[in-house]
Structure 1
Amino acid sequence: MRKRLMTTIAAGVLGGALVLTGCSTGGDQGQASPSATSSSQHQEHGSGSSSSGGGMEHPMAGGPAPAGIEKAASPKYPVGTHVTLTAGHMTGMDGAKATIVGAFDTYTYAVNFTPTTGGEPVKDHKWVVQEEIKDAGDQRLADGTEVTLEAEHMTGMKGAKATIASSTDQTVYMVDYEADGMTMTNHKWVVESEIKPAS
């Protein structure tokens, strides 16, 4: 009887530890170490309702460019160019070495949205392109426009209601880069002002 009781207590403690471990990845994810991050995910910087809010996860492989997006005719950084990123969208991104894998002409938006999976609203998510917004048409959307996202950059994004925070018509790029010992492929998106020549 005593042995069964000890086994039950041990199982309960272990179960509690597992629950706590699971919850820790949903808290302040911007502070998560690489070992606490799924091997197929990478943390976004500055998500949530405040600048220090919990991060959201991006897949390591970003997938193809959306259908209908127009390739840039003469981008400043052609496909295959080695560059340095200056964007701080995600942990380890600013200063990372990258390779351009796609360059496109479209309208690109920073958006505010609440994930379909719940949780805190995401403020100023950079970036979503015109072709990742439902029924966006081909005209630039004004700041404040309410839209539905079709992008799948992270869990809870596809189908989410969003508001346009700002936009740009700069050339937008897909990049492969390494950060925190992990390789991100086809990362969407980085605009031209967030890139500098490789040093």
Structure 2
Amino acid sequence: MVTWFALLFAFVLFQRLLELVIARRNGAHIESLGGFEVGKDHYRYIVLLHIAFLCSFLFEVLARHQEGMVPQLAPLTLFVLAQGLRLWVLRTLGKFWNTRIYILPGSEPVTRGPYRFMRHPNYLVVAVELFTLPLCFGAWITAIVFSLLNGVMLAVRIRAEENALIAGTAYAEKMSDRKRFFPLLRK
């Protein structure tokens, strides 16, 4: 019997693998234009975080015998909305979307799509996903632990990304008026 849990877990696993394929292709494209990668040192920890998240999510749901349950509606709704935002980000960035940090010196930052409203919509997607997906099936330990770990990782990653973008592009000039994640909050 195929369960909601199996479907969602398989969806996320497939999505992560597809993202790695797209990222590799897009990275080669950016490099062919003269771009380069930054933040290589911390990228392996991001990959490890996501692998550990999937393992923790799987084990917690199985240990609680929750794999047969119907997902909780509120976290599932937020998870689905985050997937919509992810597609908007992917479509907006096109060949410049990546799981890694690539800089194309002298380029203009993308200021359309969700980037009209915030600087890091893709990181918001991941944060929402890491919190809501486990909560769909009562895996609250995974939700809390990996949300905290992701917060630490994002502090490192965003600093590296923004410093590189400021040094090599018009990022500071074009994006300084936008919030990182929550566009409706006051400055």
Provide TM-score, normalisation by structure 2.
0.25
Structure 1-normalised TM-score?
0.24
Structure 1 or 2: larger helix share? 2
Could you say which structure has the larger radius of gyration? 1
